[in-house]
Amino acid sequence: MRVSTVSLLFYLALHSPAFAYLDPGTGSMILQGIIGGVAVGAATISVYWKKLTSIFAGRARSK
């Protein structure tokens, strides 16, 4: 198993270059995905932070 994994890694590492590029549209989509991921993460943290602080404050949870 180990030999086949190492062989596969060497095969993938030693291939010829693709001469590919990222056009502005692709870069824009990547940036939009990163910004969206950060926004979702911030919203999730905000929701669970409010739930956590309401438990310690002794207030009932609001939906």
User: Is 2 domain-assigned?
Assistant: no
Report the number of distinct structural domains present in the chain. 1
Confidence of residue 61 (pLDDT cuts 50, 70, 90): low
Q: Which domain holds residue 47?
A: 21-63
> Distances from the Cα of 18 to the Cαs of 5, 7, 30, 33, 53, in angstroms?
23, 21, 20, 25, 52
User: Is 9 domain-assigned?
Assistant: no
Spatial distance between the Cα atoms of 36 and 47, rounded to a whole number of angstroms: 17
- Asked if residues 61 and 51 have their Cβ atoms less than 8 Å apart, the reply is yes
User: Is 12 domain-assigned?
Assistant: no
Q: Give the global pTM.
A: 0.54
Of the candidates 15, 37, 16, 34, the residue with the CA atom closest to the CA atom of residue 26: 34
CA dihedral 8, 14, 19, 23 (to 10 degrees): 40
Per-residue pLDDT of 19-58, as tens digits, reads 778 788 998 999 999 999 999 999 999 999 999 898 888 7
